Amino acid sequence: MAWTRKDLLTMRELDAAEILTLVDTAASLQEIASREIKKVPALRGKTIVNLFYESSTRTRTSFEIAGKWLSADVVNFSISGSSAAKGESFVDTARNIAAMSPDVVVVRHSSAGAATLLARELPCSVVNAGDGAHEHPTQALLDLLTIREKKGHFEGLGVAIVGDIAHSRVARSNIHGMRKLGMTVTVAGPPTLIPPFVQELGCKVAYRLEDAIRDVDVIMMLRLQNERMAGDLIPSLREYARYWGLSLDKLHAHARPDVVIMHPGPVNRGVELSPEVADGPYSVILDQVSRGVAVRMGVLLLLAGSKSAEAA
């Protein structure tokens, strides 16, 4: 199906066909990572600006690699040492960058809706690389690509998303994507970290790790987002690790033998995942990271590689 959007802002606004177009495009670009010369000329002469107002290793690096493998010029703009640190507003900074005629701006910001605001203000394509606790669509897409490679399909799969659901943009984007592709999603975590809206999104809720991970095909563990937490939502890290940390023992006792364990990173070892699980045979965490480059190549190509997207 043809891609017609100018921007990639949320998983919520995409339909199943658009999600599959993104996943399929990414899948066919994966082969480039195994080449001796990792470069194709598709986006030669295009400029991509990474506008990151929040720290990031994986996402920024993989957008940068993705752009470079497609032969685009990639410019990184980070908040420290920029005019934003001197008091310039978000939209003003973005307008100044847009005045230099980039083709795509990739934005990460701590406020929900930041990418949507930019997409309205700027004539170029905008990619949401994480906006507050709202959405992180490219992470959900790379998770979906990883799941399809491990399980062969989407329809009917069961997924447990465990941990700090309330502050997780990864959970939100994944829930939208997975539900549209016919997967069953169970979210689990301490009640203080389960937001009230999840049932409306068609999720089941579990308040014990053991209940959540039984009979699912995929377990996605999340980090506690301490930077977004206001007040005391959990009694202690030790208690959280004890009740919500995934250890090999719990995995063997309650989960299916063919389950795969995912984590969007960064992993807090010994809190949500024990090291044996993070590095063990069930873990596909590093597969997720390598798929991340392919997904971002696919997104950049579909947005910047066609005139119709700009005209739309």
Name which position in 20, 33, 42, 229 contacts other proteins (CB under 8 A).
42
Any contact of residue 53 with other proteins (CB under 8 A)? no
Distance, CA of 284 to CA of 288 (rounded, Å) = 6
Any contact of residue 16 with other proteins (CB under 8 A)? no
| Smallest separation (angstroms) from other proteins to the CB of 25 | 5
Distance, CA of 132 to CA of 170 (rounded, Å) = 10
Any contact of residue 48 with other proteins (CB under 8 A)? no
Name which position in 6, 20, 27, 132 contacts other proteins (CB under 8 A).
27
Residue span 289-308 as binding mask against other proteins, x where in contact by CB under 8 A, dash where not: ---------x--xx--xxxx
Any contact of residue 59 with other proteins (CB under 8 A)? no
Name which position in 11, 59, 70, 100 contacts other proteins (CB under 8 A).
70
Nearer CB in complex with other proteins: 241/302: 302
Angstrom CA distances, 286 to 58, 59, 291, stand at 11, 13, 9
Any contact of residue 178 with other proteins (CB under 8 A)? no
| Smallest separation (angstroms) from other proteins to the CB of 308 | 5
DSSP 111: S
Any contact of residue 15 with other proteins (CB under 8 A)? no
Two structure tokens written together for 291: 């798929």
The CB density around residue 114, as the number of other CB atoms within 10 Å, is 25
Two structure tokens written together for 124: 């170029």
Partnered with residue 77 across adjacent β-strands are: 51
The CB density around residue 223, as the number of other CB atoms within 10 Å, is 19
Any contact of residue 39 with other proteins (CB under 8 A)? yes
Span near other proteins by CB under 8 A; candidates 39-47, 144-152, 234-242, 252-260: 39-47
Distance, CA of 296 to CA of 67 (rounded, Å) = 8
Distance, CA of 279 to CA of 291 (rounded, Å) = 18
Any contact of residue 40 with other proteins (CB under 8 A)? yes
Any contact of residue 123 with other proteins (CB under 8 A)? no
Residue 49 parent element (H or E): strand 47-52
Beginning with the edge strand found earlier in the chain, give each strand of the sheet holding 125-131 in spatial order: 73-78, 47-52, 104-109, 125-131
Residue type, 173: S
Name which position in 37, 99, 100, 230 contacts other proteins (CB under 8 A).
37
Nearer CB in complex with other proteins: 39/238: 39
Partnered with residue 74 across adjacent β-strands are: 48
| Smallest separation (angstroms) from other proteins to the CB of 177 | 20
Nearer CB in complex with other proteins: 1/99: 1
Nearer CB in complex with other proteins: 125/168: 125
In three-state secondary structure terms, 1 is coil
Distance, CA of 171 to CA of 233 (rounded, Å) = 18
| Smallest separation (angstroms) from other proteins to the CB of 182 | 24
Interacting residues toward other proteins by CB under 8 A: 2-4, 25, 27-29, 31, 35-37, 39-42, 70, 298, 301-302, 305-309
